[in-house]
Structure 1
Amino acid sequence: MQHIRTVEGKLQAEGLKFAIVAGRFNDFITEKLVGGAVDYLTRHGARREDMLLVRVPGAFEIPLAAKKLAASAEYDAVVCVGAVIRGATPHFDFVAGECAKGLAMVSLESGVPVGFGVLTVDTLEQAVERAGSKGGNKGVEAAAAALEMVRVLQQL
């Protein structure tokens, strides 16, 4: 079989700038997601002074802040974290869906990688599991995806 040229992103954050957008709603969960993202980026070479943390009221507001940050051309990637926990009304479906759709649009329209670390879960226990417990930390995963996509796009 012939060699196929492959593009993969190296997980090296040196020299890159990151914005992190965090919803304050369910902040006892989102703080763990923010901590995971910051820890991951610093362990891979990013400097804390090259990061900006933007706090917004909740998940619904995250896409607008991400759009403004992506459009600023100051950041190589935007990492977004939040927690939407299902309740007894359809509110969850609207917030979760619009947040995901909005962040996808930000990335596609701006060309800036957006890491999606917004939890959309049925229970508080599921949120805890995904914020650093047995389910890992989705803030870490969002930061890793954003970093990898920066490096992939640099090669395309």
Structure 2
Amino acid sequence: MASAEQHYSPPRPTFDAPVKVLVVVAPYYKDIADNLLAGATAELEVAGASYEVVEVPGALEVPTAIGIAHRQSNFDGYVGLGCVIRGETTHYDTVCNDSSRGITMLGLSGACIGNGILTVENRKQAEVRADPKDQNKGGGAAAAALHLVALTRKFAKPPSGVGFKPAGTVLMAETTKGPTTA
């Protein structure tokens, strides 16, 4: 059983500059979503990150909301939270696959996302995974987002200097008169 296994988690990253995270939660199963959110926000608070929480109707809307924010806002990272419990139809497979694929595609395009959308066979599995005192998958998703923010900052490239120079930049004159101001 997965709950008896021990899993390694890297140490919580530290930051020199503030971190701002958007938490997108689909509260279709409200009690489960509330536990996921409690775990995620506790992890963000311990790390000193500021955060904003928005709700969407379901797991399929989580990547869309993150994509909108990634294009139009200034968040450093994102946490997607929700729960999909297997039912009697193939809709479960569609929701699981498409929400995961959407989050993965956003991550590959540069968004720092922790995926906390549970995909489970039954409510009991969801309750155990969402509980901040048990498997705490919400906290794990927030930690994943923070690790990706730290990695992005570690590998950040300095400005390349290509393009227009800001006003006041000192330029060397083509003559022997010395530097001039642009």
- TM bracket (short chain): 0.7 to 0.9
Match status 1:62 vs 2:62: yes
1:27 aligns with 30
Rg (Cα) greater in structure? 2
What's the offset of the Cα at 1:38? 0.4
My pick for the range that moved more, 14-23 or 94-103, is 14-23
Measure the CA separation in 2 of the matches of 1:9 and 1:76.
Answer: 19
1:40 aligns with 43
Measure the CA separation in 2 of the matches of 1:143 and 1:12.
Answer: 14
1:105 aligns with 105
Given that 1:9 and 1:148 are in contact with CA atoms closer than 8 Å, whether structure 2 keeps it comes out as no
C-alpha distance 134-39 of structure 1, shift in aligned 2 (>3 A): closer
2:145 aligns with 146
Measure the CA separation in 1 of the matches of 2:74 and 2:24.
Answer: 14
Q: TM-score, normalised by structure 1?
A: 0.87
Match status 1:12 vs 2:14: yes
My pick for the range that moved more, 26-35 or 12-21, is 12-21
1:123 aligns with 122
Aligned partner letter, 1:37: A
Mark the runs of 5 or more structure 1 residues left unpaired by the alignment: 1-7
Aligned partner letter, 1:79: V
Q: TM-score, normalised by structure 2?
A: 0.75
Aligned partner letter, 2:98: E
| Superposed CA offset, 1:44-74 (max 9, x none) | 112xxx3111100010111100101111241
Measure the CA separation in 2 of the matches of 1:10 and 1:132.
Answer: 20
SS of alignment partner, residue 131 of structure 2: strand
Mark the runs of 5 or more structure 2 residues left unpaired by the alignment: 1-9, 156-182
Aligned partner letter, 1:31: D
Given that 2:28 and 2:57 are in contact with CA atoms closer than 8 Å, whether structure 1 keeps it comes out as yes
Given that 1:29 and 1:131 are in contact with CA atoms closer than 8 Å, whether structure 2 keeps it comes out as yes
What's the offset of the Cα at 1:12? 2.4
Aligned partner letter, 2:128: E
Aligned partner letter, 2:23: I
Measure the CA separation in 1 of the matches of 2:86 and 2:154.
Answer: 40
What's the offset of the Cα at 1:133? 6.3
1:71 aligns with 71
C-alpha distance 11-75 of structure 1, shift in aligned 2 (>3 A): same
Measure the CA separation in 2 of the matches of 1:131 and 1:9.
Answer: 21
Aligned partner letter, 1:43: V
C-alpha distance 66-89 of structure 1, shift in aligned 2 (>3 A): same
Where relative contact order (Cα < 8 A, 6+ residues apart) is larger, the structure is 1
* Number of aligned positions between the proteins: 145
Measure the CA separation in 2 of the matches of 1:9 and 1:100.
Answer: 25
